[in-house]
Amino acid sequence: MKRLWLAFIVVVAASFAVLGWAGVRMYQQAPPVPDTVVTTEGRTIIASGEVAAGQDGWRSMGGMEMGSIWGHGSYVAPDWTADYLHREAEDVLEQWSRARYGTRYAQLDAPLRAALRQELEDSFRANTYDASRRALIVSPERAAAFERNVQYYSDVFSKGRKEFAIPAGALTDPTRQRAVTAFFFWSAWAAAANRPGDHVSYTSNWPHEPLVGNRPTGEAVVWTGVSIILLLGGVGFMGFWHAKQEPEELTPAPASDPLLGSMNTPSQLAVVKYFWTVMALAVLQIVMGVITAHYGVEGNAFFGIPIDQILPYTVTRTWHTQLGIFWIATAWLAAGLYIAPAVGGVEPKGQRLGVNVLFVALVVVVLGSMAGEWLSVKQMLPGELWYWFGHSGYEYIDPGKIWQIALLVGLFLWLFLMARAILPALRRRDEQRPILTLFLVASIAIAGFYGAALGAGRHTSPTMAEYWRWWVVHLWVEGFFEVFATVVIAFLFARLGLIGLKSAGRASTLSATVFLGGGIIGTLHHLYFSGTPAAVMALGSVFSALEVVPLLFVGFDAWQNLKLSEQRPWLQQYKWPVYFFVAVAFWNLVGAGLFGFMINPPIALYYMQGLNTTPVHGHAALFGVYGTLGFGLMLFTLRAMNPAGVWRDSVIKFAFWSMNVGLMVMVGLSLLPIGLAQTWASVENGYWYARSPEFIQLPVLQTFRWLRAPGDVLFTLAILALAVFVAGLTLGFSYEKEPKQAPELEPARVR
Ligand code: HEM
Ligand SMILES: [Fe+2]
């Protein structure tokens, strides 16, 4: 065990050293934000501080929740970087054609057009940033294009655009409109201008835009190959390792449920309301999801009801993604709070009060942050209040700063409550110690890494804001959440007496080391095109490919868990929590492993970033793995609270199958075909086209968008059924009236 721990510590420390080093390089080599933009004739077109003000304005409107920048964000409105770049390029070509040949560009002969395109490519790729003056110098034609784009974007944001699901009046202040356009301009400039002394742009030539010579870099192709080969190698190695393992002797399962007769402490009982909240938030998330998806087909209304002034797309999408995180977190926090005193064997003093205080705090953060986001998107928060109480503009860490800090405090309160309950068990130094230590490490990391959200501060450059944002999102989902999931499932099986605590501890530490070995440096796979140096692409692609290796083998664990749970009749009682855990493994393979790797190689993500292939992966992985785990933990906890009651099968059975089939149908019938069609468009014509209304509104794609309905309906019914089932566990109607008792089941003894 000592050697395992040593390996764990070395892997984690070395990986963070590399990730930290990459962060320093990113900071040093991020595209510069100019103070001013001036023309070659000396005229100022973007005034001092206007780009930064534009970043603020964009964030206050909901930022990534309305379109995207550098491919990061939402999918109905355009990617503003690609959109601006394409408009600007066409505008300059048009100006040159008219000035030199007196005719429209489209009417020129092919050789003349080719010559102009070459000139355009050369001029856009030339880096004209003057570091000594912090000024960016552009041609008068680019300046003229900027003015036209100011008019265009002002029109988009004041009058609204149905096809982008942008409501009228989204941004009406002319100063802010101009500043936001300046920010779009800057993101597009960095996407085409070569790094000093290089022939590749700051964003490694992303987005694909033939007009300015943006095509995949040599690195993107080479690291794609290397990462795939390494993945295959990893799979071979892991297969060999598995083959070598002696089949483990099954620990004979106890004759009756070891949890029977255990008592629920006051703090454990206080956890039940968390689960009602989980279901309420999940239902609300689905409602928001249905509205958000519907905006994709009817940009300003919901089946004819004009709702875009009350609940704009930006708000429903923000709430949809954020509620997902909130209910999943709530389920896990609650399960942790239930398990902790059971493990420690004592109820710490005042624990129930702590659990209740945390609950109130969570409710305040959920409701407060949602209200702030709505006010911010509606541009109702004066001055800088948007930053503190409104919308951060960054997807998955959407709440304003104060709410982020409040959530962090809440997470640490949770950690405190967990630690004090578990400590007595750790002090016993018995065979539970390794697995409990790992459990505590995962809990500390989950709480602590949210702190990285604070790194994306008021004036942080988009490159570094992305870095810190993915410290939260990626290090959670592909790092410490995986550890938490492995540990918690192993631990619960150990509590049921199905596996030994010692071997559970060893196996969990080993798999945590394997996950984190790829997962920590793998963070960089989100940053290939975010203004980062080429080393980021190399490290990110290789290490994230290694992350996939253990995911391809989760079938082993799932099968073992199923086998274990079929040993004794009393285990029938745990069938549904176990089924949810098996589904976690399934979606880890399909949603995270396969759909994650589909978009992961640099050459794939170059064309696919921010297309519908991303929500394919997002839904199948985030809901599929961690949502399902949240439900599984909830069901296990509710099961353990009353082990003598016999569950009625029908409702929960429907919920389980309808949820999984619904998710599969939603992804397979709608999101994936649209994503693949978009990929084709992105390769053929450029990224801007794949995201443009011309393409997205094609009838065949419209049909595929409608095909979301069957999956969504199954999925919605499943969540409603689960809510009903959970309510029935409190109100009684989810239990058999006359328990068909298995022979060894006895009623709970109350001590
Ligand atoms: C259970 C584990 C995982 C979860 C919960 C998860 C979740 C997510 C989420 C929520 C996003 C953002 C989607 C968006 O921007 O709308 C994302 C993006 C991404 N994920 Fe994962 N992921 C997991 C595992 C993986 C794995 C194993 C890989 C590949 C090795 C991967 C590769 C990616 C990539 C490349 C992106 C960026 C897509 C883009 O920017 O368009 N993910 N993931
Ligand atoms: Fe990731």
Query: Does the pLDDT value for residue 538 go beyond 60?
Result: yes
CB of 227 shorter than 6 A to ligand 1: no
Judge residue 99's burial from the number of C-beta atoms within 10 Å of its C-beta, 0-12 exposed, 13-18 middle, 19 or more buried: exposed
Q: What is the DSSP string of 499-557?
A: S-HHHHHHHHHHHHHHHHHHHHHHGGGG-TTSS--HHHHHHHHHHHHHHHHHHTTHHHH
Ligand nearest to the CA of 71: 1
> What is the model's pLDDT at position 343?
85
CB of 544 shorter than 6 A to ligand 1: yes
> What is the model's pLDDT at position 164?
95
User: What's the CA gap between 63 and 574, in Å, rounded?
Assistant: 44
- What integer is the mean pLDDT of 92-106? 97
Among the listed residues 120, 126, 125, the one whose alpha carbon sits nearest the alpha carbon of residue 94: 120
Per this entry, what is the length of the chain? 751
Backbone angles phi, psi at 79, to 5 degrees: -80, 115
CB of 466 shorter than 6 A to ligand 1: no
CB of 352 shorter than 6 A to ligand 1: no
Ligand 1 atom with least separation from CA of 592? 24
CB atoms within 10 A of CB 242: 10
Query: Does the pLDDT value for residue 747 go beyond 90?
Result: no
Under a CB-based contact definition with an 8 Å cutoff, are residues 349 and 417 in contact? no
Query: Does the pLDDT value for residue 582 go beyond 90?
Result: yes
> What is the model's pLDDT at position 745?
43
Under a CB-based contact definition with an 8 Å cutoff, are residues 96 and 116 in contact? yes
Query: Does the pLDDT value for residue 746 go beyond 50?
Result: no
Ligand 1 centroid distance, CA of 33 (Å): 28
User: What's the CA gap between 83 and 607, in Å, rounded?
Assistant: 15
Query: Does the pLDDT value for residue 743 go beyond 50?
Result: no
Give the relative orientation of helices 2-29 and 462-475 as an angle to the nearest 10 degrees: 160
The sheet carrying 44-46 orders its strands as 44-46, 36-39, 135-138, 129-130
Residue of the nearest CA to atom 42 in ligand 1?
596
Query: Does the pLDDT value for residue 231 go beyond 60?
Result: yes
CB of 602 shorter than 6 A to ligand 1: no
Ligand 1 atom with least separation from CA of 72? 40
Query: Does the pLDDT value for residue 67 go beyond 60?
Result: yes
> What is the model's pLDDT at position 561?
84
Among the listed residues 502, 486, 484, the one whose alpha carbon sits nearest the alpha carbon of residue 494: 502
User: What's the CA gap between 4 and 438, in Å, rounded?
Assistant: 12
Under a CB-based contact definition with an 8 Å cutoff, are residues 536 and 25 in contact? yes
- What integer is the mean pLDDT of 43-62? 96
Cα→Cα distances 385→50, 381, 382, 391, Å? 19, 6, 6, 9
Ligand 2 centroid distance, CA of 548 (Å): 11
> What is the model's pLDDT at position 739?
56
Query: Does the pLDDT value for residue 748 go beyond 80?
Result: no
Ligand 1 atom with least separation from CA of 613? 41
Ligand 1 atom with least separation from CA of 605? 35
Ligand 1 centroid distance, CA of 218 (Å): 24
Residue with tokens 């004794």: 568
User: What's the CA gap between 392 and 387, in Å, rounded?
Assistant: 6
Residue of the nearest CA to atom 20 in ligand 1?
596
Ligand nearest to the CA of 477: 1
Ligand 2 centroid distance, CA of 524 (Å): 8
| Largest Cα–Cα separation, the chain | 94
CB of 476 shorter than 6 A to ligand 1: no
Q: Which of 242-256, 599-613, 662-676 is predicted least confidently?
A: 242-256
Ligand 1 atom with least separation from CA of 525? 35
Ligand 1 atom with least separation from CA of 73? 15
Q: How confident is the model at residue 750 (pLDDT cuts 50, 70, 90)?
A: very low
> What is the model's pLDDT at position 744?
45
Domains of the chain: 31-215 (no CATH), 219-297+322-731 (1.20.210.10)
Predicted confidence (pLDDT) per residue in 433-484, tens digit = 888 999 999 999 999 999 999 999 988 999 999 999 999 999 999 999 989 9
Predicted confidence (pLDDT) per residue in 323-334, tens digit = 999 999 999 999
> What is the model's pLDDT at position 740?
54
CB of 537 shorter than 6 A to ligand 1: no
- What integer is the mean pLDDT of 576-591? 95
Residue of the nearest CA to atom 31 in ligand 1?
596
Q: Which of 246-255, 295-304, 648-657, 700-709 is predicted least confidently?
A: 246-255
Question: pTM of the entire structure?
Answer: 0.94
> What is the model's pLDDT at position 503?
85
CB of 622 shorter than 6 A to ligand 1: yes
DSSP 8-class letter at 39: E
Residue with tokens 């490290």: 539
Query: Does the pLDDT value for residue 603 go beyond 50?
Result: yes
Under a CB-based contact definition with an 8 Å cutoff, are residues 192 and 85 in contact? yes
> What is the model's pLDDT at position 496?
87
User: What's the CA gap between 539 and 517, in Å, rounded?
Assistant: 12
CB of 477 shorter than 6 A to ligand 1: yes
Give the rounded percent of residues in the chain with a pLDDT score beyond 90: 83
Mean pLDDT, all residues of the chain = 93
**One-letter identity of residue 522:** G
Q: Which residues contact 298 (CB under 8 A, 6 or more apart)?
A: 304
Query: Does the pLDDT value for residue 591 go beyond 90?
Result: yes
Q: Which of 235, 539, 617 to mutate to test the pocket of ligand 1 (most atoms within 8 A of CB)?
A: 617
CB of 469 shorter than 6 A to ligand 1: no
Q: What is the DSSP string of 226-248?
A: HHHHHHHHHHHHHHHHHHHSPPP
CB of 596 shorter than 6 A to ligand 1: yes
CB of 88 shorter than 6 A to ligand 1: no
DSSP 8-class letter at 301: E
Cα→Cα distances 301→170, 297, 321, 466, Å? 15, 9, 20, 32
Residue of the nearest CA to atom 9 in ligand 1?
618
Ligand 1 centroid distance, CA of 617 (Å): 6
Show the tokens assigned to 339. Answer: 């398990």
CB of 79 shorter than 6 A to ligand 1: no
Ligand 2 centroid distance, CA of 484 (Å): 17
CB of 600 shorter than 6 A to ligand 1: yes
Give the rounded percent of residues in the chain with a pLDDT score beyond 70: 98
